[in-house]
Amino acid sequence: MKQFFYLFLAALIGGIAAAALVVGLVGGSPSLALQPPPAPAAAPVLVAEKNAVASLPTPLDLRPAARMAIPAVVHIKAFTKGQQREAVKALFSERDRGQKLRDGEGSGVIYTSNGYIVTNHHVIAGATDITVTTSDRRVFPASLVGEDPKSDLAVLRISGKNLPFLKLADSDDVAPGAWVLAVGNPFGLTSTVTAGIISARGRSINLLADLDAIESFLQTDAAVNPGNSGGALVTADGKLAGINTAIASQTGKFQGYSFAIPSNLVQRVADDIIAYGSYRRAFLGVEISTYTNADQRRLGLKNRTEGVVIDAIFEGGSAAAAGLKVDDLIIRVGKRAIRDLPELTEFIGRARVGETLKLTVVRNGKELEVVVPLLK
């Protein structure tokens, strides 16, 4: 009996202890209590703002510029009567065999409403018969007003009136990164528009053979191919930035680099040709070259890395009259810094006979200002 009593008492105490433990787990410390699983996080609610579309950057629309440029760009065909068959396109019918022609194609830009057209010299060089086709397919015979091989520019004239033309951009303000259009007639495909940016300025690619040729091209990545020569390089606001002239290519077709004569030089040459029949170029009367590391060591100018060195001075020229000297380093014209030879040749090429230029040169380590009256 006593043994039963002890067993009962032990069972009772164990039951009470178990009950106390359960009560502690449920209602005791939060760190030990059984907690319900956390509610899933609410999914983010996306609310479309009323002005969300308006806040996105607007892509550049080049269509207005293209609409202005296309009517002002023409298709040029130039023919030369001769004995040698050197045709770009040599497809003649039976009746043509008695008189062989050399023909070429290119583009041109209407420069004035009364029919003056600017193109490349190489498009019409040696031609005896030139025709111009406008974007609306009117065909005009063209006469050569004048040409300048050293800038690769020429001016034609047709009899049209009230023709569409492009306003001129200030090519000095056309900076790398600016959007441009190339408009022309590549491979005979009329009124073709391609787009790109200005890649660089003041490029010289040794395109023109003459030592005193003017090469200071705008470089772009707008696609240009044979037939684009003489066509328009146009700014995003529809102004003429340059005349497309050349491509850098190992295949003869576009490979990412094209070059245009800047509009400020185009205007200078074209205006002279229209007024006088030829380009009246001013000369500095020097032999010059881009400043190099060898020049830096030779002249002892450790703090100078850019400019143009005078290598020789011609008697009776503008430089001799102004007192410039061999080994002078030209670093500025007016307020414009001069980095290399193409920049200086373009700047001098745009100046007129009789004008004066204020050159800043470094001589014996010191800066000097020299006023140069430009002679022909």
Q: Just list the catalytic residues.
A: 122, 152, 229
Contact present, 372 and 319 (Cβ < 8 Å): yes
Q: Is 121 exposed, middle or buried (0-12, 13-18, 19+ CB in 10 A)?
A: buried
**225's tokens:** 């191919």
Contact present, 263 and 172 (Cβ < 8 Å): no
- 69 vs 130: CA distance, rounded Å: 22
Q: DSSP states of 100-155 as a string?
A: -EEEEEEEEEE-STTSEEEE-HHHHTT-SEEEEE-TT--EEEEEEEEEETTTTEEE
Contact present, 351 and 357 (Cβ < 8 Å): yes
- 30 vs 32: CA distance, rounded Å: 5
H or E stretch covering 194? strand 192-203
Q: Is the dihedral of CA 219, 224, 226, 231 positive or negative?
A: negative
H or E stretch covering 68? helix 63-69
How many helical (H) and strand (E) elements, i.e. helices and strands, does the chain have? Answer: 8, 18
CB-based burial, 319-349: b 16+ in 10 Å, e otherwise: bbebebeeebbbbbbeeeebbbbbbbbbbbb
Of 255, 267, 283, 259, nearest in space to 349 by CA = 283
Alpha carbons within 13 angstroms on the beta-carbon side of residue 297 total 2
Q: From its phi and psi, is residue 323 left (phi > 0), alpha (psi between -120 and 50) or beta?
A: left
- 182 vs 194: CA distance, rounded Å: 5
- 181 vs 69: CA distance, rounded Å: 9
